[in-house]
Structure formats: C-alpha cells, structure tokens
Structure 1
Amino acid sequence: MPVPIDTSFLDHLPQNVAVQFLDRVRASGSAEAFRFPRGDSWESVTWDEAGKRVRRLAAGLVALGVTQEQRVGIASNTRYEWVLADLAVMCAGGATTTVYPSTNAEDTAYILADSDSHVVFAEDAEQLAKLRERRAELPALTKVVAFSDHEGGSTGDDDLDDWVISMETLAALGDERLAAEPGLIDDIAASIQPDQLATLIYTSGTTGKPKGVRLKHRSWVYEGEAIKAQGILDETDLQFLWLPMAHSFGKVLLSTQMACGFATAIDGRVDRIVDNLGVVKPTFMGAAPRIFEKAHGRIVTMTASEGGAKKKIFDQAFKVGLEVDRRKREGQSIPLPLKAQHAVFDKLVFSKVRERFGGRVRFFISGSAALNGEIASWFHAAGILILEGYGLTENAAGAAVGHPSDYKIGTVGHAMPGSEIRIGEGDEVQVRGPHVMDGYHNLPEETAATLTEDGWLRTGDKGSLDADGFLTITGRIKDLFKTSGGKYIAPSAIESKFKALCPYTSQFVVFGNERNFVVALITLDPDAMATWAEENGMGGSSYTEIVSSQKVHAMVGDYVEQLNERLNRWETIKKWEILDHDLSIESGELTPSMKVKRNVVEDNHQQLISSFYTA
C-alpha cells in the first residue's frame, strides 16, 4: 500500500510561481540557494541574493513592456542565468517560452513566432546568430537579452546593439522602475491567478512542427508542493541539476526546490556530470536513463579491463549484493555468512561505486524514458536507490514517482498525491489532476484529441496498475508493432534489455512491423569504444574503423545471443548491424531530450533495414 500522504496541501497551494519563489526567499533568506561554476571553482548565492537579482530583472522586463501572460523566450543551456531569467519572467507576470540551445534557426524562429514571444534571453553568440538570421520572421520580438559574463561562449560587447542588451542593462532598467514603484513586483505577484499561463514548452515531435504545451502556474506550484508533501526532500538536501531546463523534467525540479528550500548546484555540461558529482557531493539528482546506463557501462568495462583478482572480487560482490537485495525485497532472512560477505564487499566494492557519485546520494530520480530493471537492481545492490518517475510535458513532468520507503523496481511508483491515474481503452495510461495542461497552443483539434471532456489526459503510453497501485509503463502505444505472424512487439522492452547486457551500447533500435522477424540497428558509445580500442590493439583508430572491425562485430554478436536467450521466440533479433556513427540531435535521429526518433532512424536507414529481409 502507498505511504499515507496528507493531501490537505491542495487547499493551501501558493497562488502562483512568483509567490512561491518570493515566499521561499522570505523563509530561507541567508541560506544557500544556488551554486554554479565560475572558471575552476564554484560560486554560491543565497536566497536573498537570488531574490534581489530576480526582482531587478523582473522589473526590467516590465520596463520593456512585458505584460500578464506575454511570452518571453529563453534560448540557452542549463545554467544559473537560465533560472534567473525564468523566475524573472514569472515575477513580471509573463510566460516563459523554452527553446533548446540545440534547436536549429528555422525551428527556433517557428517557436518564437508561434508563441508570440516579445523578448528573448539568449545564452551566447550562437543563439544570437540564429535570432539575427531569422529576424524578419520575428516581427513581435522587440528585445534580446544576452547572458553576458566571463563563461566560455558568452556574448561580448560587440554583440550588443539597439536590439540586443545585456542582463546588466536589463537589471539597470529594473532599478529605475523599482525606484519609482518599490512595491511593483509584489503587486504583480499578488495579481497573477493560478490558471494563468506560466510556460510554453514546445515538444519536439517526431514529425511536423513542434507543439506548444500550455502549462499554467497551478501546474508547476502543484508539482513542487506535491513532492514536498511526500516528505522525501527538505532544506538539508543538495541537488545537482544538469537536465535541460527547456524540458519539463528540469523545470519541475526547479518548482520542487522552491517548495522544499534545498540548495541546487547547476551545470548543464553533460560531459562534466561525473566530475561535478565528485566535487558537489549532492544528496539527489534527476537524470535520464542514458546517464545511468552509461555510468553502469563505464564501471563494468573499467573493471573488466583490469581483469584478474579485481574482476573476480567485483563480480562476486554483485552476485552477493543482488542476492541480498532479492531476499530483502521478498521479506526473507539473510543468513549470517551471506550478511558477513555483503559487509566485506560493501567496503571493498560498493562504497567505491557510491563514491563515484559523491558518496552522499540518498536517491536518484530517473525520468523521461524507461529505466531497465536490471540496471536499477545493479545500482540498488551497490546501495544506490534510483526512483523511477513518469510523466509528460503535458502534465508538467510528474504524474507518478516512487517513494524512498515505498517503491518497486521496474515500476514508476504511485500517482502524485492529489492526482489520479487510470488505465483506459487499449491499456492507455490516463492522468487527471492540477498538473494537466490547458492544451496545445493554437491547436484546438490536437487539444481535443488529447484531453477528454472531463479533464483526463490521454498519454499515448501503454501501462498497467498492480494491486498496490504501482504503475508500470510498457511503452508508447504508437511504437508497438505487430509481426506478419500476428505477434505484438514492445521494442522499448527489448532495447532496454540489450543496454543492460552490453555495457558498450549507446543505442539499440528494434524494427519489424508487418515483417516476419525482428531486426535491430546498433550504435556503440564512442567513449567506451575508445577505451576498448586501447585495450585491444586498435588505439588511435577512428570510431568507424573500430566498430567495423571483425572483433567488435563478434563481441556484439555474443551480446545479441545473450539477449535472444531472454526473449520469446517471436521477439528474437534475427539480423542486426552496427552503424558507423552514433545517433545524434544534429542528424535529427534524437530529440533534444535524447529520445530516439524511431521513424527518422527508420527513414534514414531504410535501405539497410530492407536488406535484412531480402538477403
């Protein structure tokens, strides 16, 4: 049964995100709010300092003419300035339009034009160049505010003109406005209604133009307060935040911080995650499954390369750890000899795994895609709890999440307190609650197809609820396919199994719709393969040369055979090929949130896939 949670918090939600933030500043004042990299060190600011900066920027936006619900874009990677900009938009009464920094100029212009954004915050010269290139398509865009500081890639004085101003200039405009109206920001915050538009997040669709998801203040405030009500985070925690803030998963963690009051260390550079964890030593972090898959693969391959006694100890440690874990979950006793072995292995092996993540992590939260249960169990055996969460941009990211004292590996936990989940026709997961969107911007037909008349969100995901209310997600309904023999295949389930088996995997994409057998395209992780090459006499070779070698082909073939042993006969991979390049956002094969665009991959490699069935 789920942990009992008092839902009376629903009767006392902050009125809006601006009030939620300003209340937190008043409550936590001198406590640390954010820390962020400056060169080789980290700089820290208190809630009071962040609050003063946000007030100045918010007043500056008002001085620029931003009014209630008027859209302000942010085109930037995850960094402290992103958070300041978003909170300033909230406190000015506007609505944030998020733009991934990897979005091309054409789609950036489409998003800003469709949202009718009047002001845009731009991270660096690259983002500015996109805006300048498409300026003729953005007649409503009156001002661009550049993140101008000494971080690499930032804008400089040469980039500033009548159209582009710096954040310092914006803050100075705010100072002038606040001198005339000291109570301006508090008055605006008090006037914003819960159902007013707070954010437009454009989902990167696999076909056609992105759709703007309209999320109101109530949605974000509810998400943060619902997590607070579960009692799993408080002011003593420290978050490491790297997730794209243009994605709802990153945004909801900001709302959670406002509700709970913990400090957040921010650095969106994905290649620095592991190094940063060792320095920051957070108590929790949100991440996509790919981060855990990559960490698992790295640790396993590094140990395998050392060989000898170290590998034997490592393998035995996880054999014991998984057995102890299984017994605990099933309520069985743990024999004394097994308990003693586990204590030894915890010191020799598991403590070192935990130390790679800073040594203080209470739990990770995995979201945006399904996490393989075997990888979750592997981390759990090492004493690292990964709680799976589930949700869509259309419900402000969080629909369900596990609880540290009430979870089942392989499930995404229970519905967020104060909301509902049901299984509809065709086993579709449907969600209802304060977090559900208003609809899609300028797309009434799409909205009507996604929201029922009584407020349920059709997620498009296939799933089930067990007797204890735990939700399991099978996969996207549109991704399920049927072989010519009439058997239904859930490709994501097969793909995650392979990633758990093969530590060198980057992507494993399964096909076979209306075909007589299932095939796969495989990409390998460039970093892992560079290490493998050094250990196998191919150091200095290109990625293409490495993955094309007979030795790598044989190695991957062994893993495919292991996978097939775990699958039903009709699911087994009969033919496969390793691609000579990894999937990327630039190729259009991955969304900015790192999800595979299955149809794009299929289109790009149609000839190769067809050859599997004609050879």
Structure 2
Amino acid sequence: MNIADFLNVNAKKYPYKAAIGFKVREDWKELNWPRFRDMVFKTANALRDAGIAENDCVAIYSDNSAEWITMDLAVLSLGAVTVPIYSTSNREQAAYILNDSKAKLVLAGNQEQYDSCYAILEKSSDLQQIILAKKKDWIKKDRSVYFEDFIKKSSPKFEICPKEEDDVATLIYTSGTTGVPKGVMLTHGNFRECFKAHFDFFKFRDFEREHSLAFLPLTHVFERSWTLLCLSGGVKVTFLENTKLIAHTLTEVKPTMMCAVPRFYQKIYSGVNDMVNEGSASKKKIFAWALDVGTQVAERKRQAKNVPPGLSLKNALANRLVFAKIKKKMGGKLWFMPCGGASISPEVTRFFDAMGIHITVGYGLTETTATLTAFPFTHYRHGTAGISLGDTQLKIGENNEILAKGSGIMKGYYNKPDETAAVFTADGWFKTGDAGEFDEQGNLTITDRIKDLMKTSNGKYVAPQPIENLLSNNSLIEQVMVVAEGKPYVSALIVPNFENLKQHVEQLSIPFSSWKEIVNLQQIKDLYHQKLEEIQSGLAGFEKVKKFELMPAEFEISNGEITPTLKIKRNILLRKYESLIESMYDAKMG
C-alpha cells in the first residue's frame, strides 16, 4: 500500500495526459504520466545506487519545483522517508533537521541552501551527498552532483517497494510558534486514508480534468497532502517556484484549483474594496448591486436550493460587469480553493462565494495529516471550520481543547517518546492545542490557540486571532500582533502595507525619507488611529486595540518572527520587542 502506487496506475490510465507542469526559463513545460513515472523511477534507482535503502531519510531543502515532487515520490517508491525542510529555513534550522533525522542525502534548491548543506555535510557522519536541483552556475564542491547528472544513467524500470499501513512515509518538522521543532511521523496509511476521506467527502466529478497550482510550500503538510491527493486522482499539478510571481502565474497557468492561506484572500478582498471606494458613485452602486445579487445566488447554492431564472440572469450580468474582471486576474478558471493554516474572517469567505469561487475552509495540523474538518459544498456555515471528514472523531476536552481520533493522526514525534505521550490523553485522543466549540449541525468553530488565549489584568479573556484577522483585512495593514496578557488593555504591533501606505504618504505631500521616520509621523499615526476606530466599531470595549506601534519593516520568516505559513511567533516577538510593548503601557500614556 505504498502511496506512490498511483504512478503505475495513472501511467497506464492516462498515457497522453499531463501529470506535472513547470517552468524552464520563460516557457511552461509539462510531462505526461508515463514520462513523469519514468523520471521518478530513474531517480529512485539513482538513490538506490547512491546507497539509500528502505527506511533511510532523504531531505529536500528547496522551493517548489518539478525536482521537488520527483525526489519526494522517488524516495517514497524506494520505501525510504522524505524529510522536507522549508526553503526559508536558515543554516541552524536546516542543520537541526538534517542531524535529528540522520538524513543521508539532501536535495538543495539554490546556492544559499547548498552552502548551508555543505557546511553541515563537512561536520556530519550521516549526510553523504548533496543533489543540486538545477544545472546553473553553482559554486560546487566534492560529494555534490546536479540532479540531471544524478539520474542520467539510471533505468526507468523499477518496482515500488510495498509498505504497510503503519510504515513511516515522511518526517515533517513542525515550524512551531513555540519550542524546538519536532519531527512528525506520518505513515503511508495516514496519507492513503486522507485521500480516501477527501474523495468520499467532496465526490468530485471528472476530477482528473482539474488543474492545480502548487503555490504554498510543499514542505507544509497542507500543500503536500493536497498535491499528492491531486496527483493520485490524475490531476495535472503545476509547480510555482517563485511565490512572488503568483499574480502573473495565475494568468499564465489558469488553474482550476489552488491551496492558499487566509492572507492571500485578505489581500484580494481589501484590494477590491479599496478599488471600489476610490471609484465613482455609479461604480460603487454597480458593485453593491452585483455583490447583493452574487450573495443571494451563493446563499441559495449554500442551502442546496435552485436559483430562480430571473436571479440567474441578474447574476450573469453581475458576473460580466464586475466579477469576471476580478476572476480574470486570478486566471479566470479557479472554482475550488482549499484554505487553511490560520483562521479566516466570514466576510472574506462570503465575498468569494458571491463571486462564484468557493473557499473551502478547513482545519487541521501537521500531526493530523492536515484536514480534520472542512466546508462541504452545501450547508456549510461561514465563520466555522466546517465538519469532520472520513473516520475523524472530535470532541471538546478540558479548557475547551479540541481532541481528535482517526486514521489521519500521526504515529508520533520522531525519537521523542515523552513529547509524543504529552499530546495524547490516556485513552488515545490527540490534543490539538486549539480551543473550539461545535454547533448543533456539527460545525467546528476554532476560538483560538489555547496557548495564545490572553487574560487582561482586569480579568477579561481576549482571543487574539479574530482581532488580528479583522485588522489585517484592511488594505493598510499587512501584519499585526495583539498584546493583552496581564495588561490593562489590548495593544498591538502593526506592520503597515507599505505599498498602499506609500500612496497615502504621497497624497499627504509628505517627502519620503525612510519607513522608520514615516511610521513615527503624527499624521501617519492619526491615519491608523482613524482606521482602527472604523475597523473595531463592532468589537466589545475590552477587545479593542487601545494603543499601537507601527513597525518600520515586515516580520520575517528568515529571522524567526513568523512561521513559513505566516503565523506570528508570539513568544519571539514578545521578547524581541519587549521595551516597545512596555512603552504602550507607560503610566503617562495609559
């Protein structure tokens, strides 16, 4: 039951159909199923010749690429274990994962990653060889080989290693907002059952005709599970190597499906709202009418009701006048977009529904092979994380913690029996660390990370994520971290959307110096104070951000301030900006 078995099935079933798409210089290329399988099998044979045996660990330290997925499936076919490392990880983080997993070989995606790997290789007794993903002008040393040369002489004939349900397929090191990364052991059975649960849940029609764009890091369980599920179902998957080119790539590739995190949708939502607000009165009126019509249609579809012909006609006009222009910028064909990694505001999901793009909100963790719950196609409830999939069982434990059982739950943390035991109850329920509640229909609402829940000095409990989502839905705010634990009121560190703020700076005729100076100008602080007043009008008094500091630069993955899925690392930021935070509670200011 090796999860790579679909390679043989699909090569026979779809001999002329594209399996993967990728860019070579300026041109998009593709491999059909037989050629893709041959590439994977040649890589598997090359790995075997390089001394990689069943259950050995092979790491991938690279951005998304055709080589990434080829290496992954080759490792799995061989019966070995894939260890992905985020491409944004620094040398210290990469060294920890390579040493902890005892990886024997690593695929490096760029020069910086290669240099880190080589420094680690020189000191390691386990790491033996580095494969360079692309043939470029690398500064390359011994025990290193280009991927192309690595597989050149290998045979495409290969027998996939049979695996049992409980055999480990991958070690995914949690990026973690706190603590040392832990290697989550996910098995072939975890992935197999995850695929089955999704197909049973969504009942896709003609799934093999879909086209998915791998935009999120394949290192993350969300994109990796989705991509493998798509490939197993015969879907063509195109790999985006440079995420900064997402806007251009969408119009070139025109995918029908794509995973994304809430920030992606928030940016589109706030961008459209800004464009409307700056438009003429007639344009505002047309947009409001179109949104109303689209919302009526979406609501009927959500309730599995027929759309009356008259409303359907109005919706076609709304689409032509308004929505088609927005959707064209997203390629024009997207209809199914799984969303995870953090919570998303209901106004954002309603907005996309009105346009005819279904954001399938889901909830899960690395430890649960991603999805525990998701929106079905009908009868979902905005503002929730949907209902459970497959054989997943969920219940609420102490402190409102969500507990889970099912086929997707990890085998445990690699070489960490104490940490593994700590996240399971005595009767085998996995403790997610998230707080939540169910409604009568079984929809799960995530109230917050238990560790993130804050109690003010006045005894009020504040859940930061909904407040942070509300604020970052605004086009002038890129990132935000709410502070309240043990404090008399809520404050926040706010990272402006510098691109949009620049327009306001120009409109205010402020000469540009540096962002450090700009964010400290009273005019700019007044602008944000006004925005916060508008945004927070619906919040309870104790939840409102009373004081804030504008940051001169974005929180970065590279210096550990946010995770690769853009989640705030609160402990790091609280330590790093302790004096700045304390200044917001100065007696004179409070």
TM-score where L is the length of structure 2:
0.93
**Equivalent in the alignment of 1:10:** none
For 1:479, what is the secondary structure of its paired residue? coil
| Paired residues of 2:352 and 2:358 also in contact (CA < 8 A) | yes
**Equivalent in the alignment of 1:564:** 536
Q: Is it true that 1:171 corresponds to 2:151 in the alignment?
A: yes
Q: Is it true that 1:516 corresponds to 2:488 in the alignment?
A: yes
| Paired residues of 2:302 and 2:379 also in contact (CA < 8 A) | no
For 1:240, what is the secondary structure of its paired residue? strand
Mapped partners of 2:532, 2:311: distance in 1: 33
Mapped partners of 1:121, 1:328: distance in 2: 46
| Paired residues of 1:32 and 1:45 also in contact (CA < 8 A) | yes
Mapped partners of 1:225, 1:334: distance in 2: 31
For 2:349, what is the secondary structure of its paired residue? helix
Mapped partners of 1:348, 1:553: distance in 2: 37
For 1:294, what is the secondary structure of its paired residue? helix
**Equivalent in the alignment of 2:343:** 370
Amino acid of the structure 1 residue aligned with 2:77 = C
- For residues 154-165 of structure 1, the aligned pairs below 5 Å read 154=136, 156=138, 158-159=139-140, 161-165=141-145
For 2:286, what is the secondary structure of its paired residue? helix
- For residues 255-274 of structure 1, the aligned pairs below 5 Å read 255-274=228-247
Q: 1:605 aligns with which of 566, 570, 577?
A: 577
Q: How far does residue 309 in structure 1 lie from its aligned partner after superposition?
A: 3.7
Alpha-carbon displacement from aligned partner over 1:403-431 (angstroms, at most 9, x marks no partner): 22342221222211122222222211122
**Equivalent in the alignment of 1:401:** 374
Amino acid of the structure 2 residue aligned with 1:394 = E
Q: How far does residue 329 in structure 1 lie from its aligned partner after superposition?
A: 5.7
* Gap change, CA 1:18 and 1:338, over 3 Å in 2: closer
Mapped partners of 1:410, 1:212: distance in 2: 31
- For residues 57-456 of structure 1, the aligned pairs below 5 Å read 57-149=43-135, 154=136, 156=138, 158-159=139-140, 161-172=141-152, 174-175=154-155, 182=157, 185-186=158-159, 188-190=160-162, 192-230=163-201, 231-232=203-204, 234-307=207-280, 309-319=282-292, 321-322=294-295, 325=298, 343-456=316-429
Q: How far does residue 293 in structure 1 lie from its aligned partner after superposition?
A: 0.9
User: What residue ranges of structure 2 are gaps of 5+ in the alignment?
Assistant: none
Alpha-carbon displacement from aligned partner over 1:386-405 (angstroms, at most 9, x marks no partner): 11011100011111111223
* Gap change, CA 1:146 and 1:372, over 3 Å in 2: same
Q: How far does residue 539 in structure 1 lie from its aligned partner after superposition?
A: 8.1
* Gap change, CA 1:608 and 1:322, over 3 Å in 2: farther
Amino acid of the structure 2 residue aligned with 1:167 = F
Mapped partners of 1:411, 1:50: distance in 2: 39
* Gap change, CA 1:551 and 1:342, over 3 Å in 2: farther
Mapped partners of 1:53, 1:519: distance in 2: 54
* Gap change, CA 1:65 and 1:556, over 3 Å in 2: same
Mapped partners of 2:493, 2:103: distance in 1: 40
| Paired residues of 2:302 and 2:380 also in contact (CA < 8 A) | no
Q: How far does residue 335 in structure 1 lie from its aligned partner after superposition?
A: 10
For 1:120, what is the secondary structure of its paired residue? strand
| Paired residues of 1:479 and 1:490 also in contact (CA < 8 A) | yes
Mapped partners of 2:231, 2:58: distance in 1: 21
Amino acid of the structure 2 residue aligned with 1:267 = L
| Paired residues of 1:363 and 1:404 also in contact (CA < 8 A) | no
Q: How far does residue 27 in structure 1 lie from its aligned partner after superposition?
A: 2.4
Q: How far does residue 525 in structure 1 lie from its aligned partner after superposition?
A: 1.9
Q: How far does residue 42 in structure 1 lie from its aligned partner after superposition?
A: 0.6
**Equivalent in the alignment of 1:9:** none
**Equivalent in the alignment of 1:486:** 459
| Paired residues of 2:453 and 2:462 also in contact (CA < 8 A) | yes
| Paired residues of 2:302 and 2:378 also in contact (CA < 8 A) | no
Q: Is it true that 1:552 corresponds to 2:524 in the alignment?
A: yes
Alpha-carbon displacement from aligned partner over 1:89-114 (angstroms, at most 9, x marks no partner): 01111100111111111111110010
Q: Is it true that 1:27 corresponds to 2:7 in the alignment?
A: no
Amino acid of the structure 1 residue aligned with 2:378 = S
Alpha-carbon displacement from aligned partner over 1:131-177 (angstroms, at most 9, x marks no partner): 1223343210111111123xxxx454x51x441012123213533xx
> Which has the higher mean CA deviation after the structures are superposed, 95-104 or 267-276?
267-276
User: What residue ranges of structure 1 are gaps of 5+ in the alignment?
Assistant: 1-14
Mapped partners of 1:417, 1:462: distance in 2: 22
Q: How far does residue 495 in structure 1 lie from its aligned partner after superposition?
A: 1.1
> Which has the higher mean CA deviation after the structures are superposed, 241-250 or 229-238?
229-238
> Which has the higher mean CA deviation after the structures are superposed, 84-93 or 396-405?
396-405
| Paired residues of 1:223 and 1:255 also in contact (CA < 8 A) | no
Alpha-carbon displacement from aligned partner over 1:51-94 (angstroms, at most 9, x marks no partner): 00000000111111111111000000111110001011011111
Q: How far does residue 319 in structure 1 lie from its aligned partner after superposition?
A: 5.0
- For residues 453-602 of structure 1, the aligned pairs below 5 Å read 453-500=426-473, 502-534=474-506, 537=509, 542-602=514-574
Alpha-carbon displacement from aligned partner over 1:485-519 (angstroms, at most 9, x marks no partner): 2111111011112223x222111211111222111
Q: How far does residue 531 in structure 1 lie from its aligned partner after superposition?
A: 4.5
Mapped partners of 2:521, 2:270: distance in 1: 21
Q: How far does residue 203 in structure 1 lie from its aligned partner after superposition?
A: 0.8
Mapped partners of 2:418, 2:137: distance in 1: 41
Mapped partners of 1:200, 1:82: distance in 2: 15
| Paired residues of 2:493 and 2:549 also in contact (CA < 8 A) | yes
Amino acid of the structure 1 residue aligned with 2:112 = E
Q: How far does residue 544 in structure 1 lie from its aligned partner after superposition?
A: 3.7
| Paired residues of 1:71 and 1:117 also in contact (CA < 8 A) | yes
| Paired residues of 2:95 and 2:120 also in contact (CA < 8 A) | yes
Alpha-carbon displacement from aligned partner over 1:26-61 (angstroms, at most 9, x marks no partner): 322321111111222210111111100000000111
For 1:292, what is the secondary structure of its paired residue? helix
Amino acid of the structure 2 residue aligned with 1:172 = K
Q: How far does residue 599 in structure 1 lie from its aligned partner after superposition?
A: 1.5
Mapped partners of 1:527, 1:16: distance in 2: 47
Mapped partners of 1:330, 1:561: distance in 2: 35
Q: How far does residue 341 in structure 1 lie from its aligned partner after superposition?
A: 5.8
> Which has the higher mean CA deviation after the structures are superposed, 124-133 or 298-307?
298-307
Mapped partners of 1:21, 1:391: distance in 2: 27
After superposition, the CA RMSD in angstroms is 2.4
Amino acid of the structure 1 residue aligned with 2:324 = S
Mapped partners of 2:516, 2:10: distance in 1: 52
Amino acid of the structure 1 residue aligned with 2:25 = G
Q: How far does residue 232 in structure 1 lie from its aligned partner after superposition?
A: 2.8
Amino acid of the structure 2 residue aligned with 1:247 = H
Aligned residue pairs, count: 585
* Gap change, CA 1:407 and 1:330, over 3 Å in 2: closer
Mapped partners of 2:179, 2:370: distance in 1: 22
> Which has the higher mean CA deviation after the structures are superposed, 257-266 or 165-174?
165-174
Mapped partners of 1:305, 1:537: distance in 2: 19
For 1:588, what is the secondary structure of its paired residue? coil
